[in-house]
Chains A and B, each alone.
Chain A
Amino acid sequence: MDMNSKSFVQKVVGAKKMHQAYRWIAVIFLVYAFTWGLIGPVPAKPNLEETIRNLYYHVPMWFGLVLLAFCSFLFSVFYLLKGEHEADQLAESFALTSTVFGVLGFATGMLWAQYTWGNWWAGDVKQICALASILVYGAYFVLRNAIAEQQQRARVAAVYNILAFFSLIPLLFIIPRNAEFSLHPGGQGSGAVGNPAFNKYDLDNRMRLVFWPAIFGWFALGLWMTHQYFRIKALEIKKMLS
């Protein structure tokens, strides 16, 4: 392969302006979400009270997880089609940040549940499915470490990653929606089929002003983290080769 010509992924990752752009987006939006999220007005709901602010931190984690997992999936598909080594590394980085977001989503959710539901683990259907989806991505890293040969690892991991992304769909979008009972919004009582995150969320327009920027900011932070991890990996490989 010609070492001087840059691959598509290298061009994407190397675009300095984009990299700086999402770093600044993350900083500005998250500073806003943190300050206005804590001092801004929220509707007074019984039982929820001020804990409703957790919406700004907990829900963006799941948005981040799905979006980052989707990016990881895209780069895995790209790797299988084009065979660019960087695409595989990028897919790995995205899978890692996606898992980090999943773990943080869990942590923020459990902390909140401990005050509102009275227990760290309530056995709720969404908790179960979220744990299963983290296990799916955990297996991805086990698989990567189990294969020594680099090209083989990249290919097999890409294949599994595609399967993993498609197994997120029933876990996060199908099973929670037709569960007979869920403590999460949108799941109360039987026949509560619909988007579990929004329809019944006590989300008013004042909260939307923080909620959407928060999602945007967290996702930008996820992109930035992915990028940094990717660069560290690339440096490690460079060091190993020299």
Chain B
Amino acid sequence: MIQEIKQILRKEWTVEWRQKYAIQGVFWYSLTVVFLCYLAFGSVKPMVWLSLFWILSLFTAVNAITKSFVGESKSGMAYFYTMFSGKSVLVAKIIYHWMLSLFLSMILLGFYSLLLGSPVQKYDLFFTGIFLGNTGLAVALTFLSAISHKARSGASVMAVLSFPVLIPTILLAIKISKMGMDGLPWSTAMHEIGQISGIILLTGALSFLLFPYLWRD
């Protein structure tokens, strides 16, 4: 299985690198959108800064991950089907999206802090929030992308499906990163860190159990 996951990851990477438009698109998208926010807001209060950052992060992640299964052609899926087991496809896609969304949110944060400044006081806790939040996003969105792949109009269904399901993850991630932003000690965030990890594990376990039912056609 680990061998299979490695192969799929390599394939994802190769495809991504070959058709550079996708990752370039997201890159320029985040730059444009941050620039737009800068023009619209000028300077912002810390709480607005944080909320705006998470909303941008969410949209970037949804944009980047939606295409995963939705973008996969029918013949491509058929080929996948003959080559690999469903579970290793899922795990590989989750790992790939996890790295992708972390990478994208780092780029986003870079642009964002450059133009709008950064009120963060305690970076380690703040980054823990980003790390956990993006992990949650990657796990849930990968699975939801697989679900909406089965619907006729993939991308719009994806948005309807994903936002409500993601609310707890986003809320907790905002809470944790807000504590980092305010420079609170680690001990205050432990409760939330535990909860978000629980949600991530639960979503991961559910996707792992349910993915085979989506996979066979």
Contact = CB atoms under 8 A, between A and B. Distances in A.
Interface stretch (B27-35, B52-60, B159-167): B159-167
A216 B120 CA distance: 51
A139 B213 contact: no
B167 A132 contact: yes
A175 B217 CA distance: 37
A143 B151 contact: yes
Contacts of B37: none
Nearest to A164: B165
Interface string A122-150: 00000001001101101100110011100
A152 B191 contact: no
Nearest to B153: A146
A160 B161 contact: yes
A163 B209 CA distance: 11
A23 interface: no
A156 B160 CA distance: 15
Size band of the B side of the interface? 20 to 34
B217 to A, nearest CB: 8
A142 B157 contact: yes
A27 interface: no
A167 B151 contact: no
A133 B167 CA distance: 10
Contacts of B150: 147, 152, 156
Q: Which 10 A-B pairs have the closest CB atoms?
A: A135-B164, A146-B151, A170-B168, A136-B164, A156-B150, A132-B167, A139-B161, A139-B160, A159-B210, A142-B160
Interface of B: 143-144, 147-148, 150-153, 157, 160-161, 163-165, 167-168, 171-172, 191, 195, 199, 202-203, 206, 210, 213-214, 217
12 contacts: A139-B164, A139-B165, A143-B147, A146-B151, A152-B150, A158-B213, A159-B213, A160-B161, A163-B147, A163-B203, A170-B195, A174-B168
